[in-house]
Amino acid sequence: MGKLYFKEPVNKNIERNDGFGEIRKDGRTHYGIDYDSPAGTEIRASERGKVVRASFVPKDGNYGYTVIIDHTPEASDNERHIYTLYAHLSSLNVSCGDMVSQEQAIGLSGNTGTASFYRNTGRQFHLHFEVIDTRESGKMNWNSEGGTGYNGHVNRVNPDGYFGNPDLEVNGTVGDHPISEQYLEEILDRMDLKLDEEFRLQIMVDGKNVGCFGNGNETIEMKIRI
């Protein structure tokens, strides 16, 4: 079992607009949180996990450029999986299959998808954020192209119940390992290893990915055995 401690995907000074469960003028229910993030705002992973979709999504409400992260990638197909979804991005910093650490930059805020239809409303640029918790229904199969294969509001839950929840304990999280993140940071300090914008360091402990540092496109893998 591992613990997940979700954080909001933008800085605290960025305000929310539409909340979860709000009914829009067209009668549709909003199953996420919209943040009024200006164009180019850095969007960060809410928790550590594995990227299962990073592409343009032309369907499912026209999410535009979207990143989806599985925060329980080591769970079996029949076990509970928790995902976060980040939509309407202008650019992506990650690719499908990448392992990301909490608060790692995964893209920039934009107005792709239906957000482009908010022109002249004063809020065309925003981040649409979702938490998808499958509970008993098991792993979801996210398509690599076209729509996500996501059926309506199924498994979408209010993110506010997950932010900062100290009791969220599930199977299959990344880095269910006794080595702490603080200890890993101390290792990097002792090595005096400098990561620039071109590189990122992925740390494997006894064959498990326990963290990724830096935001570059080229990955350096460090393997540790204890």
Q: Which pLDDT does position 164 carry in this prediction?
A: 84
In the numeric block, the tokens 């390992």 are attached to: 177
At residue 118, the 3 state secondary structure works out as: helix
**Band of the pLDDT at 177, cuts 50, 70, 90?**
very low
Q: Which residues of 148-162 are buried (b: 16+ CB within 10 A; e: fewer)?
A: bebeeeebbbebeeb
Q: Where are the domains of the chain?
A: 2-170, 181-224
User: 146 versus 151: which is more confidently predicted?
Assistant: 146
Closest CA to 126 of 32, 39, 65: 39
Distance CA 150, CA 141 (A): 9
Q: Count Cβ atoms within 10 A of the Cβ of residue 43 and give its class: 0-12 exposed, 13-18 middle, 19 or more buried.
A: buried
**Band of the pLDDT at 59, cuts 50, 70, 90?**
low
The pLDDT of 206-223, averaged and rounded, is 66
Tell me what percent of the residues of the chain surpass a pLDDT of 90. 31
Instruction: Average the pLDDT over each of 60-69, 78-87, 185-194 and give the range with the smallest value.
Output: 185-194
User: 82 versus 59: which is more confidently predicted?
Assistant: 82
Contact between 51 and 68 under an 8 Å Cβ cutoff? The reply is: yes
Distance CA 130, CA 20 (A): 9
Return the DSSP state at 4: -
Task: Please give the backbone phi and psi of residue 97, each rounded to the nearest 5 degrees, phi first.
Answer: 100, -15
Q: Count Cβ atoms within 10 A of the Cβ of residue 191 and give its class: 0-12 exposed, 13-18 middle, 19 or more buried.
A: exposed
- Name which CATH class applies to 2-170: mainly beta
The pLDDT of 10-16, averaged and rounded, is 84
pTM (predicted TM-score):
0.74
In the numeric block, the tokens 């963290």 are attached to: 211
Average pLDDT value for the chain: 79
Q: Which pLDDT does position 178 carry in this prediction?
A: 46
Query: Would you say the C-alpha torsion 84, 89, 92, 93 has a positive or negative sign?
Result: negative
Contact between 222 and 211 under an 8 Å Cβ cutoff? The reply is: no
